[in-house]
Amino acid sequence: MGWLQRIFGQEKPQGAQVNPAPAPAASGTTETIPPERLGLNGEYDQSGLAKRVALAFDQDGTLDDVDTLWVAQLGTTVVLKGKVPSQDFLNKAIGVAKGVNGATDVKTDEVSVG
């Protein structure tokens, strides 16, 4: 099971991307989707940033799914909660999360190491 499946209960949708282009606005509107609300396929998604971080974790060959770590978001901040096996793992997760469009910070004060 991967990060996206475990945390959000969904398989990777066809065409899903970590940093998708926003879907075209509805006819007659000029609204744009904020980067932290972009879903896996460029659609609006309230949890878009967290889902795209989970997808980025799935796509990174060095970040095995650790079932004691969770990904959430508060606006543009990625929130990691739980327990990780090592500081190196946490550092790698932080780096991957920061590389996702819309992430301005990664909060880890609810993560324990060991």
Whole-angstrom distance, CA of residue 106 vs CA of residue 14: 27
Phi and psi of 28, rounded to 5°?
85, 0
pTM summary value: 0.93
Cβ neighbours of 45 (radius 10 Å): 18
Rg from Cα positions in the chain: 14
Q: Using one digit for the tens of pLDDT, what is the confidence trace for 2-29?
A: 999 999 999 999 999 999 988 876 666 6
User: CA 2 to CA 46: how far, in whole Å?
Assistant: 21
pLDDT of residue 99: 97
Model confidence over 78-114: pLDDT tens digits? 999 999 999 999 999 999 999 999 999 999 999 999 9
DSSP 8-state class, residue 63: -
